[in-house]
């Protein structure tokens, strides 16, 4: 399984940036996303920034990674990692909802 790591830009070089998150620091190639300002969140994967992320999206991804680590270690409350999902009823996207019945002929 391949999973990218949400990381925040902390220092910028010519075509690279030093990024950090969750105790990890990595120098990422920024060719795919272009130069980014310090504080920007990016998704790092195999030494490259693959996409620019918003702060909320990065927080959700980081929470999902924490939940995965908890499951793999056999400990932890994964519900705490998915507070935005716990306690709500899942909704089907519009394209998966049943089609409305056609009107009856007169």
Residues 80, 59, 86: CA angle, nearest 5 degrees:
30
Q: Using one digit for the tens of pLDDT, what is the confidence trace for 19-75?
A: 999 999 999 999 999 999 999 999 999 999 999 999 999 998 998 888 888 888 887
Q: What element of type H or E holds 72?
A: helix 55-73
Domains of the chain: 5-75 (2.30.30.140)
pTM of structure: 0.73
Residue-wise pLDDT tens digits, 47-57? 999 999 999 99
DSSP string across 78-104:
GGGGGTTTTTS-----GGGSPPPPPPP
- With H, G, I as helix, E, B as strand and everything else as coil, classify residue 44: strand
């Amino acid at each position: 399984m391949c999973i990218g790591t949400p990381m925040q830009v902390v220092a910028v070089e010519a075509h690279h940036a030093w990024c950090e998150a969750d105790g990890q620091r990595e120098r990422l190639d920024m060719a795919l996303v272009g130069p980014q300002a310090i504080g920007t969140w990016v998704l790092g994967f195999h030494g490259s920034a693959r996409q620019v992320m918003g702060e909320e999206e990065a927080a959700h991804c980081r929470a999902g990674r924490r939940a995965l680590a908890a499951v793999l270690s056999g400990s932890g409350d994964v519900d705490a990692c998915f507070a935005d999902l716990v306690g709500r009823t899942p909704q089907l996207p519009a394209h998966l909802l049943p089609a409305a019945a056609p009107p009856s002929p007169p």
